[in-house]
Structure 1
């Protein structure tokens, strides 16, 4: 009888513990597909806290550091029109995961003169 009670107790505890955890499939990722955004240095232009000049995009008014692309992939960041000195526009595809933009594609858009 004690063994049956013990097994039932462990089973109930196991079910209640698993019911409180979030399934891995329901991540807080937000998919972005070909959305036009602002792109620049997060620290220099978007006033984000960081250790160095890092690429960032502003999606729906909120800045995110970019993973998958580097600030140097787009030329000299400290040049006259570089990301540390100017905000540009880009069309991006990727996901926002854990407050970072995981870039699949970034296409710089021509600047309007």
Structure 2
């Protein structure tokens, strides 16, 4: 009987999970970054053409904005064919950029 009680207690204790780690994050405020298609221009692995920004030299896929929100991504100057500059505000969470604001900057000629 005593062994049964300890066995049930051991099973219950092992079923408990450790608390989850807080997601690593970094707030970005009005930082000028490179913006383009992650797969086509930044050579990131993905399933399809997807918007990405390069912050402090590291590329991140973007959540909250689509690659086509800024025009035809496959056009002559689209994100799949050219890297542009943008001023961004948001947060890097779990290696993705959660965009609050993206403002494309004029291209220099």
Q: What TM-score do the two structures reach when normalised by structure 2?
A: 0.81
RMSD after superposition: 1.9
Whole-angstrom distance in 2 between the partners of 1:23 and 1:61: 26
Whole-angstrom distance in 2 between the partners of 1:41 and 1:58: 10
CA deviation map 1:66-96 (0-9, x unaligned): 0000000000000000000000000000000
Do the aligned partners of residues 46 and 23 (structure 1) sit closer, same or farther apart at CA in structure 2, a change above 3 Å counting?
Answer: closer
Which residue number corresponds to residue 10 of structure 1?
Answer: none
Do the aligned partners of residues 23 and 62 (structure 1) sit closer, same or farther apart at CA in structure 2, a change above 3 Å counting?
Answer: closer
Whole-angstrom distance in 1 between the partners of 2:21 and 2:44: 31
Which residue number corresponds to residue 45 of structure 1?
Answer: 41
Alignment size in residue pairs: 97
Task: Indicate whether 1:73 and 2:69 are aligned.
Answer: yes
Which residue number corresponds to residue 24 of structure 2?
Answer: 28
Structure 2, unaligned stretches of length 5 or more?
1-5, 7-12
Whole-angstrom distance in 2 between the partners of 1:102 and 1:66: 6
Q: What TM-score do the two structures reach when normalised by structure 1?
A: 0.78
